[in-house]
């Protein structure tokens, strides 16, 4: 009987078909094809920094950070500022700490899942490293953070799909005991609540409900008891409450971002009781705007607006912040900055600096001393003079739409040499966009002599509603045309060897790889598909349960198989049905526990190609989900990818 039990234990089931997976020995051989000696290794770009994730306690007496040990585990430490005493307060074991933060001056919280399955649990620990516990010990349940509650140091507000896996409900949770109080019921899964709107005191002021899968009703309360519909919207409309205006005598006044009146989203002061804008505060002609910052210390004074243009833009508003912004930009004129953290008294700031050539540096700024001090350089070994420029570009699509993107060029391209190109379509695809800054992938590719192109194709976010919606029902079609037009543009500029173009991407970008190899098979020399969709039909049938209420929206963005014409398009743009068109080498990478793009998507394309005699290296990691988060897995993937590109992309260059 013992022997029988042991056999059963050894036959542990794993996701997907493990027989399809390429052996570690073969993957290492693939990596070894990148034999040239370079100034920087893959590890130099993708090993996690020795320390990172710096945060201040609310009173500024402590600073926390993550530090990597010799085994690659990233624990959380707390350092007392005056004594410099350091305590390890959170230990990372087998599962990764996916995020952490302060809830008060004595306690931190952190989240973990299992192998990338995204069913996050919320944990807590004290600054002494004691009393660590799982506050949400529920299997198959995802926790999301909603509100910190600065006025109540023992509680935060979270949401969980604890009662129904398809919908989330809000809870107030005691971060010491784990005691839960459910704040509202999401009891109509056919018309679920999507977003909860709380004020700083933890009062539920409103929520938005999805009606019939595509419409939205915004509910608001005046008395804290009854909730009434104040606005009916389409799911395509942007109307969201950024914050209530606590500086106003009108308790119903809020800062709202909206595109109801204009193509680009704008920020307004808005009266929710009257359902009327009070004042348009900020807009940009070319880009959506949505960021603002308030000062709790100074009675919630409006400090600045921020938005993504070609680069991140910060627009100071208050006199206080104008002075601070001037100090920072004068001290660091060639860097892009963000405020990583600040104390409640605003007497100490953490400033994070970055550029296209700088991975990231933390400085502290002491207001009383008027003093900047270097706190930590995340990647000091990556010298800026050795890194490549990321250039914003602008061009017209074949049907006359203005498109934006970025090209990262190796130095030899700037000397007049035509170089191989790796085009990297972003994930999403809807509402996501590429931005300017340090990109380790782009810098790795440039160090090997490859240029990297990023195109914000139609359906990308940040460029207005019309641009976003022009990509609906165009995934794999006009959205791919835009990527191809970007390639044509950089070739025309004289930077690129047109015979050496590769396509690489993750999630929707992985789908774009497979679609590119079937749509324009002669354009690419090879492709790398990272957790990409291969079959839109099966993709929609394997989405996680909490995506199911949004399936009609997904179908409006992608395609609806119940509409005969769209079903035909789905077959046309699903790569697994176009296998015979693939004639260039393909490398596939997948996380086995991916809840968004099921491993079956990668298994399908690998199995189908191998059935027709096509060699496809296939890397799977059984402790990962939608993208690799563990350092050793990322490094192994990029090493194999560099070997793959060395084998298939160098061409006659």
pLDDT tens for residues 453-464?
999 999 999 999
606, 612 in Cβ contact below 8 A?
no
The answer on 54 and 40 residing in a single domain is no
In a domain? residue 341: yes
Q: What is the pLDDT of residue 652?
A: 47
**How far is Cα 336 from Cα 353, in angstroms, rounded to an integer?**
6
Averaged pLDDT for residues 23-29: 98
Say yes or no to pLDDT of 3 above 50.
Answer: no
The reply to whether 353 and 440 lie within a common domain is no
User: Which residue, 202, 209, 203, 198, is CA-closest to 242?
Assistant: 198
Q: What is the pLDDT of residue 9?
A: 39
Q: What is the tens place of the pLDDT at every residue in 307-364?
A: 999 999 999 999 999 999 999 999 999 899 999 999 999 999 999 999 999 999 999 9
Distance from C-alpha of 138 to C-alpha of 120, rounded to nearest angstrom: 10
Looking at the structure, do residues 394 and 413 belong to the same domain, yes or no?
yes
- Helix or strand holding residue 536 (H, E): helix 536-541
Which of residues 102, 134, 166 is at a domain's end? 134
Any domain includes 312:
no
Q: Rounded CA gap, 463 and 307, in Å?
A: 11
pLDDT band at 13, cuts 50/70/90?
A: confident
Q: How far apart are CA 42 and CA 444, in angstroms?
A: 7
Query: 148, 169 in Cβ contact below 8 A?
Result: no
> Is 269 within the bounds of a domain?
no
Confidence of residue 131 (pLDDT cuts 50, 70, 90): confident
Measured distance CA(98)–CA(630) in Å, rounded: 11
Cα–Cα–Cα angle for 16, 19, 23, nearest 5°?
Answer: 110
Does 608 or 36 have the greater pLDDT score? 608
Question: What is the model's pLDDT at position 473?
Answer: 98
Whether 52 and 63 have beta carbons less than 8 Å apart is answered as no
Statement to judge: residues 354 and 467 lie in one domain: no
* CA distance readout (Å), 104 to 189, 211, 228, 343, 344: 35, 38, 34, 11, 11
CB of 241 within 8 A of CB of 227? no
The residue-averaged pLDDT of 406-423 equals 96
Closest C-alpha among 560, 630, 552 to residue 591: 630
pLDDT at 12: 56
Contacts of 306 (CB under 8 A, 6+ apart): 291, 292, 293, 312, 313, 314, 315
| CA dist 34 → 38, 290, 641, 645 (Å) | 10, 43, 9, 8
Q: Is residue 514 predicted with pLDDT exceeding 80? A: yes
Measured in Å, how far apart are the chain's first and last C-alpha atoms? 64
CATH code: domain of residue 33: 3.40.50.1820
Give tens-digit pLDDT for 343-354: 999 999 999 999
Confirm whether 2 is domain-assigned: no
The answer to whether residue 444 is domain-embedded is yes
Tell me the angle at which helices 631-648 and 24-31 cross, rounded to the nearest 10 degrees: 60
pLDDT digits (tens, 9 = 90+) for 67-98: 999 999 999 999 999 999 999 999 999 999 99
Q: How many residues does the chain have?
A: 653
pLDDT in tens, 548-589: 999 999 999 999 999 999 999 999 999 999 999 999 999 999
Q: What is the DSSP secondary-structure string of 491-507?
A: HHTT-EEEEEEEEEEET
Count structural domains, the chain: 3
Q: Is residue 34 a part of any domain in this protein? A: yes
- Judge whether 112 and 96 are in contact, CB under 8 Å: yes
341 plus 411 within the same structural domain: no
Tell me how far CA of residue 615 lies from CA of 515, 582, 585, 612, in angstroms. Answer: 18, 12, 8, 9
For residue 574, how many other CB atoms are within 10 A of its CB? 23
* Residue 130: per-residue pLDDT: 83
d(CA 437, CA 353): 10
255-292 confidence digits (pLDDT tens): 999 999 999 999 999 999 999 999 999 999 999 999 99
Domain termination residue (choose one: 88, 110, 134)? 134
Distance CA 261, CA 263 (A): 7
Q: Percent of the chain having pLDDT more than 90?
A: 96
pLDDT digits (tens, 9 = 90+) for 471-506: 999 999 999 999 999 999 999 999 999 999 999 999
DSSP 547: G
Boundaries of domain holding 338: 332-378
Q: What is the Cα Rg of the chain in Å?
A: 25
**Does pLDDT of 103 surpass 70?**
yes
Q: Are residues 514 and 366 in the same domain?
A: no
At 651 the pLDDT is 57
308 within a domain of the structure (yes/no): no
Last residue of a domain, one of 110, 134, 158: 134
Q: What is the pLDDT of residues 208-239, one digit of tens each?
A: 999 999 999 999 999 999 999 999 999 999 99
Mean pLDDT over 386-398 rounds to: 98
User: Same structural domain for residues 396 and 432?
Assistant: yes
**Mean of the per-residue pLDDT values of the chain:** 96
In a domain, 512, yes or no: yes
Calpha distance 357→332 (Å, rounded): 14
Q: Are residues 439 and 531 in the same domain?
A: yes
* pLDDT above 90 (res 599): yes
> 1 pLDDT exceeds 90?
no
* Closest alpha carbon to 224 in 201, 250, 248: 201
Question: At 608, phi and psi to the nearest 5?
Answer: -65, -40
- Whether 358 and 402 map to the same domain: the answer is no
CA 155/CA 107 separation, integer angstroms? 11
Q: Give the torsion through C-alpha atoms of 229, 230, 232, 237, to 10 deg.
A: -130
**Which run of H or E residues covers position 169?**
strand 169-174
* Dihedral angle sign, alpha carbons of residues 54, 55, 57, 59: positive
Top-confidence residue, 8 or 542: 542
> What's the CA gap between 15 and 363, in Å, rounded?
44
- Give 44: exposed, middle or buried? Use CB within 10 Å, 0-12, 13-18, 19+: middle
């Amino acid at each position: 009987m013992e022997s029988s039990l042991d056999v059963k234990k050894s036959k542990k089931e794993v996701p997907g078909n493990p027989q399809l997976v390429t052996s570690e020995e073969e993957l290492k051989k693939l990596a070894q094809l990148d034999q040239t000696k370079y100034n920087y290794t893959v590890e130099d770009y993708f090993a996690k920094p020795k320390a990172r994730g710096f945060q201040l306690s609310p009173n500024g007496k402590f600073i926390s950070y993550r530090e990597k040990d010799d085994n690659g585990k990233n624990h959380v430490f707390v350092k007392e500022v005056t004594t410099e005493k350091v305590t390890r307060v959170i230990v990372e074991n087998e599962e990764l700490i996916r995020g952490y933060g302060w809830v008060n001056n004595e306690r931190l919280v952190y989240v973990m899942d299992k192998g990338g399955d995204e069913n996050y649990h919320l944990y807590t620990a004290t600054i002494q490293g004691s009393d660590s516990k799982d506050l949400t010990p529920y299997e198959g349940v995802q926790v999301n953070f909603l509100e910190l509650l600065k006025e109540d140091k023992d509680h935060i507000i979270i949401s969980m799909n604890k009662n129904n896996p398809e919908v989330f409900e809000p809870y107030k949770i005691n971060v010491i005991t784990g005691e839960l109080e459910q704040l509202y019921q999401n009891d109509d899964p056919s018309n679920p609540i999507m977003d909860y709107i709380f004020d700083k005191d933890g009062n539920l002021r409103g929520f938005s409900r999805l009606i019939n899968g595509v419409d939205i009703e915004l509910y608001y309360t005046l008395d804290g008891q009854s909730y009434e519909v104040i606005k009916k919207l389409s799911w395509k409309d942007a109307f969201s409450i950024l914050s209530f205006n606590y500086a106003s005598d009108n308790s119903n006044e809020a800062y709202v971002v909206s595109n109801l009146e204009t193509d680009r989203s704008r920020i307004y002061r808005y009266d929710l009781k009257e359902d009327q804008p009070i004042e348009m505060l900020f807009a940009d002609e070319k880009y959506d705007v949505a960021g603002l910052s308030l000062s709790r210390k100074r009675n919630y004074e409006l400090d600045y607006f921020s938005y993504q243009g070609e680069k991140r833009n910060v627009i100071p508003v208050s006199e206080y912040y104008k002075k601070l912004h001037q100090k920072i930009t004068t001290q660091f004129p060639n860097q892009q900055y963000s405020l990583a953290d600040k104390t409640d008294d605003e007497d100490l700031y953490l400033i994070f600096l970055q550029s296209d050539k700088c991975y990231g540096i933390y400085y502290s700024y002491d207001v009383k001393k008027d003093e900047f001090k270097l706190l930590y350089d995340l990647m000091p070994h990556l010298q800026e003079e050795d890194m490549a420029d990321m250039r914003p570009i602008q061009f017209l699509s074949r049907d006359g739409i203005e498109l934006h993107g970025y090209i990262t060029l190796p130095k030899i391209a700037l000397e007049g040499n035509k170089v191989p190109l790796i085009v990297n379509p972003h994930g999403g695809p809807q509402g996501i966009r590429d931005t300017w800054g340090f990109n380790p992938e782009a810098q790795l590719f440039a160090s090997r002599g490859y240029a990297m192109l990023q195109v914000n194709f139609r359906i990308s976010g940040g460029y207005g509603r019309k641009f976003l919606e022009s990509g609906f029902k165009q995934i794999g079609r006009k959205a791919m045309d835009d990527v191809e037009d970007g390639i044509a543009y950089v070739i025309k500029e004289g930077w690129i060897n047109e015979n050496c173009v590769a396509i690489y991407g993750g999630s929707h970008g992985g789908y774009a790889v497979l679609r590119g190899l079937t749509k324009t098979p002669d354009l690419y020399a090879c492709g790398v598909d990272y957790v990409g969709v291969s079959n839109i039909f099966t993709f929609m049938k394997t989405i996680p349960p909490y995506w199911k209420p949004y399936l009609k929206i997904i179908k409006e963005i992608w395609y609806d198989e119940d509409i005969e014409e769209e079903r035909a398009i789905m077959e046309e743009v699903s790569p697994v049905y176009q296998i015979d068109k693939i004639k260039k080498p393909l490398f596939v990478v997948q996380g086995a526990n991916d809840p968004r793009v099921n491993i079956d998507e990668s298994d399908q394309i690998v199995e189908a190609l191998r059935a027709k005699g096509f060699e496809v290296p296939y890397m799977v990691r059984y402790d990962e989900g939608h993208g690799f988060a563990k350092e050793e897995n990322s490094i192994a993937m990029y090493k194999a990818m560099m070997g793959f590109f060395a084998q298939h992309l160098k061409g006659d260059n």
